[in-house]
Amino acid sequence: MRAMRIIQPVKEMQDFCDHNRKTGKIISLVPTMGYLHEGHLNLMREGKKRGDCLVVSIYVNPTQFGAGEDFEKYPRDIERDAEMAESVGVDVIFSPASSDMYPEHYQTFVNVETITQNLCGLSRPGHFRGVATVCCKLFNIVKPHVAIFGQKDFQQLAVIRRMVEDLNMDVEILGMPTVREADGLAMSSRNTYLHDKEREAALILSRSLLHAKKLYDDGQRDTAGILKVVTDSLEASPLVRLEYAKICDVVTLKDVTYLGNATVLALAVKVGATRLIDNYVFGDTFDVSC
């Protein structure tokens, strides 16, 4: 088995991927901000199945963090990440410097419009401009045939799919189900911020989603009724501050009043100082790949 490579210069990464494409290899990409967990590794395992060359990007992208957010304290440990990535057969880690990604006089950004005006887009202005821009750059640098994202960041997945379709990008976008801890908490690098009482309080997210699923399975289709149950549950915890609980169309991310197979319940809360998101897609007809 070949040793995993770590590449930092953009030009070197482009040359590596050009060579692999010319030799007929399928390139799969898993974009991450590092501090890997089992959810990331699950995406990588799928990437290994989907391609001949698996690239994982590790880059804490400054343009998707707003003023006062956690860019500076976001957990970073490239040595730990490299060991984890190599354990699942990653071929290359692409870990660029910001000076290479956003050099002096940089001024070009990708703005995906309507779909970013709800959910996290309301409270994090500019966030999805940063997400779309860095993913566009990663697609241009790595030139993947398939890029794999987790469904926990549902709006991010929807935004990337919209960008790829609108800009005629030649890359398949695959979404993978959320990976959870044994107690139901969605895996996230930000979970490391939680102290013990906050970690316990955070379980209300997945429990609220399960309650909503039960209501749906029992025949409830009115979104107002489901949202009231969910918000009452979330607001009952003194350590949890609700940012939003919404039920939206999975494609447009517009609020809906009737719950169908193409709808998603999306949650965002602050548990102490830590912002967490989670979601549940109702029904079983939604295909997260495109």
Active site residues: 40
The set of residues, in sequence order, having a beta carbon less than 8 Å from that of 219 and lying 6+ positions away, is none
- Tokens 């909503």 found at: 212
* Alpha-carbon dihedral angle through residues 124, 171, 52, 181, given to the nearest 10 degrees: 30
For residue 174, give the nearest of 60, 49, 281 by alpha carbon. 49
Place of tokens 């501050």: 241
Q: How many CB atoms lie within 10 A of CB 231?
A: 15
53 closest CA partner among 32, 27, 30? 27
Distance from C-alpha of 111 to C-alpha of 133, rounded to nearest angstrom? 8
Side chain identity at residue 218, one-letter code: D
Tokens 């990008």 — which residue? 169
Lookup: tokens for 102: 């956003």
Closest CA to 116 of 130, 106, 135, 102: 130
CB 44 within 8 A of CB 54: yes
206 alpha-carbon distance from chain centroid? 17
Q: Does residue 176 sit in helix, strand or coil?
A: strand
User: Distance between CA 264 and CA 6 in Å, rounded?
Assistant: 37
